[in-house]
Structure 1
Amino acid sequence: MAIELGSNRYGKAETRVVRVVRDSERHEIVDLNVSVALAGDLDDTHLTGANDKVLPTDTQKNTVFAFARDGIESAEEFGARLGEHFTGSQESIDRATVTLQEYTWTRHGDHTFSRGDGGEHKQATVVYENGRPDVTVGLRDLLVLNSTDSEFTGYIVDEYTTLAPATDRILATAVTADWHFSETDVDWNKAYTAARTALIEAFRDTYSLSLQQTLYAMGAKVIEVLPQVDRVTLTLPNKHHFLVDLEPFELDNPGLVFFAADRPYGLIEGTVERR
């Protein structure tokens, strides 16, 4: 029986770094959660325990902080700069994957901000290999809801089907989306804003016969507005809202009161590609 080492990588996960821009009295904040994963000539480390080709994960953390001192133009630029450093400075490392979650703070003055815990955030993944970055950008937990203009009818009915057709329903989801760039000469901050806006506008403007149809419309819209994007991958959980039966209380319910169920839920996933 032969046993061999397969693909592997190591790194420092979730280094929280907050960079304050103090170039004027009106401050800016960049809030990132940075994870680094390095791969390359590391077989000996696993097979013999030799660490001579290992850059400590603590050093990776320190590098994130040191690079933040020079400024963070965008999550994508920062990830590419880190990836270039790790692959260029370490002979044993030929691939660096930097994943960056970016949290948005709401401004309430020149130096006052607020942010709710959790919720929507940007995510960028930069894979640096062979002297160039490969960039995927996206977002997590973008909550959107249409209170009408959605239906679900004409589906398969078998002996286990109890779902009634809906000709006017609430459609809600928490969007996970990633869009991959075929080039890197991009205004990253502007592109992110454009993609997020496209997702929301497509969700708003699509009369939905299924969440699958809405998924396609959302991905297609991002590709239409960003010529540098070659594919968009979306994950859309169906946040079900069920009409509450108020007849026991001798009340009607003409589409006014709903129960928001958290589970189980439909999960729609798909990729839209440029051809």
Structure 2
Amino acid sequence: MTFVLAEHQYGKAESRLVRVYRDTPRHEIRDLTVTTALRGAFDAAYLDGDQSAVLPTDTQKNTVFAFAKQVGVGAVEDFGLALARHFVADVEPVHGARVELEELAWQRVVVDGVEHDHTWVRAGQEVRTAAVTVDASGEHVVGGLKDLVLLKSTGSEFAGFLRDGYTTLADAHDRVMATSLDVRWRFAGTDVPWDETYAGIRATLVEQFATRHSLALQQTLWHMGTAVLEEFEQVVEIRLKAPNKHHVAVDLTPFGLENPGEVFVATDRPYGLIEATITREDPPPAGEAWRASAGLA
């Protein structure tokens, strides 16, 4: 039998990086997790154990920390592009590079009504993500967020669904709808105001969830995705994943009590998982933009 080494890549996953700026008495902080993955002529390492073309994953980790000082850490997309461009341009065996980034948000502590110069508390309900791919097909950036937990106590239905002999679920015309959003969006280019765009997309997603009367979580995802594409012309594709965090009304009749949608048990599993990919009619090619490494971003 003949075997062929197909797709392969290697890198350093989840380097924890905290960059503090101390140029003034008022410090700034960025908190990232960075994964790097290199693609190229590394067949000999797999087939023969020949490491002569392999840049160690430890070197990739060191590059992340050195670039945090040399290049600086602003928008995560810019930092990812700087790293990926370096690996492709400066490391000869590398034909392509993927950098996945997560960012945790911090908020300044307020003391006596004044923001403190060098103390923070963890902030933000979600983790910001970015994935940058640089190879022969071009430069591709995927922004995103995950673990954005949303809940609405009304304005949601689920009824008229298909039934068979195993169906026990009743129609619901007024229910709690909750989810933990995992959303990725692909940009057409790299000339983007990253931080402002991230804030705008997040606000659009939340607004649609809040204001759109939902007949199903599927319908809600469609309107969230199309609203982002309508408002942000740089975004050409959006992928949404939403677990349905079920809230089940508790039967209080054994205690002589009514429960008109006021007391629930929140279940964590099993859960419905709703997914959708929405694109513009003729989006530019994605290349390897969606080919994951650690898959964290």
Normalised by the shorter chain, which TM-score bucket? Answer: over 0.9
Deviations 1:198-218 (A, max 9, x none): 110110111000000000011
* Matching residue's letter, 2:91: Q
Contact 1:84 1:131 in 2 (8 A): no
Partner of 1:112, secondary structure, is: strand
Partner of 1:11, secondary structure, is: strand
Is 1:85 the equivalent of 2:91? no
Deviation at 1:163, TM superposition (A): 0.6
Q: 1:138 aligns with which of 138, 144, 148?
A: 144
Paired with 1:81 and 1:133, the residues of 2 have a C-alpha distance of: 11
What corresponds to 1:161 in structure 2? Answer: 167
- Long gaps (5+) in structure 1: none
Is 1:110 the equivalent of 2:111? no
Deviation at 1:24, TM superposition (A): 2.1
Paired with 2:136 and 2:2, the residues of 1 have a C-alpha distance of: 31
Deviations 1:44-72 (A, max 9, x none): 11111111111011111100000000311
* Matching residue's letter, 2:94: I
Matches for 1:36-55 after TM superposition, within 5 Å: 36-55=36-55
Q: Specify whether residues 185 and 141 from structure 1 end up closer, same or farther in structure 2 by C-alpha distance, changes over 3 A only.
A: same
Contact 2:140 2:187 in 1 (8 A): yes
Structure number with the bigger relative contact order (C-alpha 8 A, sep ≥ 6) is 2
Paired with 1:211 and 1:204, the residues of 2 have a C-alpha distance of: 12
Q: Which is richer in strand?
A: 2
Deviations 1:143-189 (A, max 9, x none): 00110000111111211111110010000000000000011110111
Number of equivalences: 274
Paired with 2:136 and 2:179, the residues of 1 have a C-alpha distance of: 38
Partner of 2:223, secondary structure, is: helix
What corresponds to 2:179 in structure 1? Answer: 173
Is 1:203 the equivalent of 2:209? yes
What corresponds to 1:257 in structure 2? Answer: 263
Deviation at 1:23, TM superposition (A): 2.7
Paired with 2:142 and 2:33, the residues of 1 have a C-alpha distance of: 16
Q: Find runs of 4+ consecutive structure 1 residues off by over 4 angstroms.
A: none
Paired with 1:8 and 1:142, the residues of 2 have a C-alpha distance of: 32
Partner of 1:106, secondary structure, is: strand
* Matching residue's letter, 2:167: T
Deviation at 1:19, TM superposition (A): 0.5
Paired with 1:50 and 1:2, the residues of 2 have a C-alpha distance of: 21
* TM-score, normalised via structure 1 length: 0.97
With 106-115 and 29-38 compared, the bigger mean Cα shift is at 106-115
What corresponds to 1:100 in structure 2? Answer: 101
Contact 2:139 2:189 in 1 (8 A): no
Deviation at 1:90, TM superposition (A): 1.2
Contact 1:139 1:176 in 2 (8 A): yes
Deviation at 1:194, TM superposition (A): 0.7
Paired with 2:125 and 2:197, the residues of 1 have a C-alpha distance of: 21
Paired with 1:228 and 1:202, the residues of 2 have a C-alpha distance of: 20
Is 1:213 the equivalent of 2:215? no
Contact 1:203 1:218 in 2 (8 A): yes
- Long gaps (5+) in structure 2: 110-115, 282-297
* Matching residue's letter, 2:263: V
